[in-house]
Chains A and B, each alone.
Chain A
Amino acid sequence: MEQPAYQNPLRTGAIRPAELLPWLAAGSGFFLFPDYLQLGAQILIMVLFAMSLDMILGYAGIVSLGHAALFGTGAYTAGILSAHVGWSEPLSGLVIAGLVAGVVGFVCGAVILYTRGLTLLMLTLAVTILLQELANEQEHWTGGDDGLQGVVMEPLFGVFEFDLYGQTAYLYALAVLFVMFLAARAIVNSSFGQSLRGIRENERRMHAIGCPVYRQMLRAYTIAAVMAGVAGALLAQTTEFVALDVLSFERSGDVMIMLILGGTGRLYGAFIGAPLYMILQDQLAKLSPEYWLFGIGALLVATILYAPEGMLGLTERLRAWATREDS
């Protein structure tokens, strides 16, 4: 390097060319797989959801088994707005859903982030199941077990109808994902984001340098809640339906597995993990649900043992190995 070593020495940084790849893939997907755009939109939504989990899990190190609570809150907010209030304008519905999820996330976080370890794990889990039971019981508002019917969406910007093929849904989800990604990228690369990484790496040390750890974690949790809520709202809006499973433990587990498969603490892990998981699921479950379950279980075990940093971590390691061979 010709420049002094400390010119721009932190690893957060300018945009690398490889960062364009997922967006090129998502963009070309629109033209390459016109029959799969509904699935494609759902994949993009899960990418956003997994990315929001990455904010708290990969950066702040908060292990949550209840991230679906926030996803589901967003989904039901958007759904109920349309089905019961008659508010069917998608963009404002999305914003409201994100804000409601943010408030729920802030309140939950304020209560549970005092705890750590198994207790925190159990509290995140218990809150989700509690919300799901509540949604199940409030049939009038949520449709209970049958799901929330009667969600309709006005055309986007008053122009683009949500069509049967999912073209509008796909592009809408992609655009929202992109905006959210830009925000997330800025946040994790900021001083705040650095501070979160510090908490993940060594919480004791963060206390000792005067960091208000609880406040930082609560901020991260609230931001992630908004993003998860937006993801949930997208699902409700693009499928015009909300089922109870948006709040399920299984969904919390799914999104965590997606993130782990892709790799945590990188934002882009979500872009690898969610498509991988959902495409595998789509293909294997066709054969038999047991194959899918066994396959994903085995993949998870193998990932933890041999590629604990996920597919992205694995490629980084392989690349480092290959370049060392060259020299």
Chain B
Amino acid sequence: MSDALLEVRDLSKSFGALVVADAVSLSLRPGARHALIGPNGAGKTTLVNLITGTVEPSAGVILLDGHDITHWPQARRVKRGLARTFQINTLFRGLSVLENVCMAVSERRSLSARLWRRADARGDVIAEAMALLESVKLDEDAQRQVRELPYGRQRLVELAIALGLHPKVLLLDEPAAGVPSTESHVLLEAVEALSESIAVLMIEHDMDIVFRFAQRITVLVSGAILTEGTPAEVGADPRVREVYLGENAELRGGSR
């Protein structure tokens, strides 16, 4: 056995004749900073859905911290320390930013079954949520409704909610999508400031971010792994360049 926090072995998923994940294997150790790249439709988000349990795999095994979670319900995986963000903001738009984060914090503390005590009297939950908001520089917007925030700021709420779950493994699905490049540094700094004990898997299209963030990169094409390696290895791989040529020329400038 390895000491991996998250281990995915030969994970496959097909819808009829359409194979969206083809024997994918991945391993994240504590402190891993791993990027998952690939052209559109390569099955990156599907992989996240498989790992988090919104989609049932056709074959393969998922291990979280040594437990076989392949057939666990989603909520149980989260309680074990698996958190994600969504590619498209998936937030409580009618609630305030603070309430969004409090929701995650009180769920993690298993308070959501408590029927009688007023939620707003739980100062500890609120203080923790505020601290999280400060860490992503959202504290000034704490009282605003999420739907009033610009999309880029909402991305930070996505991240803060996931952090409120105290994950051991964090799956970030294109965290910077829709964030103006002037603001993406806040997001990246927050990710870089994460504890060394957390393993992070990030799907990202922006190669600047990928090369700045990742220690290892996995390239996914048509549901299967094309290659895995360090940023230098992947950047130099001619097959990767081929896949990206025309599709996304950024990779060639990735080391700029």
Answer yes or no: A and B touching, Cβ < 8 Å.
yes
Chain A residues packing against B (C-beta within 8 Å): 5-6, 8-13, 186-187, 189-195, 197-198, 201-202, 204-213, 216, 219
A-B contact pairs, 29 of them (CB 8 A): A5-B143, A6-B126, A6-B127, A10-B120, A186-B116, A187-B115, A189-B119, A190-B117, A190-B119, A191-B106, A191-B111, A191-B112, A191-B117, A192-B115, A194-B99, A194-B119, A195-B107, A198-B92, A201-B92, A202-B91, A202-B92, A202-B93, A208-B86, A209-B103, A209-B165, A210-B76, A210-B108, A211-B112, A216-B112
Tell me how far the C-beta of A270 lies from the nearest C-beta in chain B, rounded to whole angstroms. 20
Smallest Cβ-Cβ distance to B165: which chain A residue:
A209
Q: Which residue of B lies closest to A219 (CB)?
A: B113
CA distance A219 to B114 in the complex (A): 11
Interface assignment of B54: CB less than 8 Å from any CB of chain A: yes
For B54, give its contact among A186, A194, A195, A207 (CB under 8 Å).
A207
* Chain A residues within an 8 Å CB radius of B78: 208-210
B96 within 8 A of A: yes
Is B67 at the interface (CB under 8 A from chain A)? no
Per the 8 Å Cβ criterion, residues 12-48 of B in contact with A are none
Check if A195 sits within 8 Å of B120, measured CB to CB: no
Chain A residues closer than 8 Å to B115, beta-carbon distance: 186-187, 190, 192
Let me know if B119 and A12 touch, CB within 8 A.
Answer: yes
A212 → B minimal CB distance (Å): 5
- Which A residues lie within 8 Å of B98 (CB)? 6, 9-10
State the Cβ distance, A214 to closest chain B Cβ, in Å: 9
Contact assessment for B93 and A190 in the assembled complex, using a CB-CB cutoff below 8 Å: no
Q: Which of A190, A205, A210, A213 has the most CB of B within 10 A?
A: A210
Of B94, B108, B120, B130, the residue contacting A201 (CB under 8 A) is B94
* Cβ of B9 under 8 Å from chain A: no
B113: chain A residues at CB < 8 Å are: 191-192, 216, 219
Quick check: B92 and A5 within 8 Å, CB to CB?
A: no
B74 part of interface (Cβ distance < 8 Å): yes
Decide: A187 and B116 in contact? CB cutoff 8 A: yes
A191 close to B122 (CB less than 8 A): yes
- Closest B residue to A10 using CB positions: B120
Measured between beta carbons, the chain A residues less than 8 angstroms from B108 are 209-210
Asked if A201 contacts B93 (CB within 8 A), the reply is yes
Question: Could you say which residues of chain B place their CB within 8 Å of the CB of A11?
Answer: 96, 99, 120
A184 to chain B, nearest CB (A): 11
- With A209-B107, A213-B75 given, name 13 new contacts (CB 8 A): A6-B126, A9-B98, A9-B126, A10-B102, A12-B119, A13-B120, A186-B118, A195-B106, A197-B92, A198-B95, A205-B161, A210-B165, A216-B112
Q: DSSP majority for the A interface?
A: helix
Tell me how many residues of B have a C-beta within 8 Å of chain A: 46
**CA of A10 to CA of B120 in the docked complex: distance in angstroms?**
5
Look across to chain B and name the residue whose beta carbon is closest to the beta carbon of A265: B94
- Is A205 a contact of B120 with CB atoms below 8 Å? no
Please name the residue on chain A nearest to B84 by beta carbon.
Answer: A208
Interfacial chain A residues near B127, Cβ < 8 Å: 6
B144 vs chain A, min Cβ distance (A): 11
Residues on A with beta carbons closer than 8 Å to the beta carbon of B99: 10-11, 194
The 3 A-B pairs of least Cβ separation, nearest first, read A210-B78, A10-B120, A195-B112
Q: Which residues on the B side are within 8 Å of A9 (C-beta)?
A: 96, 98, 120, 126, 142-143
B46-87 vs A, Cβ < 8 Å mask (1 yes, 0 no): 000000101000000000000000000011111100011010
A residues near B52, Cβ cutoff 8 Å: 208
Contacts of B104 in A (CB 8 A): 209
Bound-state Cα–Cα, A258 to B54, Å: 37
Distance to closest chain A CB from B111 (angstroms): 4
**Chain A hits for B111, CB < 8 A:** 191
Shortest B30–chain A CB gap in Å is 21
- A208: chain B residues at CB < 8 Å are 52, 74, 78, 83-84, 86, 90
| Cβ-defined partner of A195 (8 Å) among B93, B96, B103, B118 | B103
B120 touching A198 by the CB < 8 A rule?
no
CB-contacts of B216-235 with A (<8 A): none
Are B74 and A190 touching (Cβ within 8 A)? no
Q: Given A9-B143, A195-B107, A210-B75, is A205 in contact with B119 using a C-beta cutoff of 8 Å? A: no
The answer to whether B119 and A204 touch across the interface, beta carbons within 8 angstroms, is no
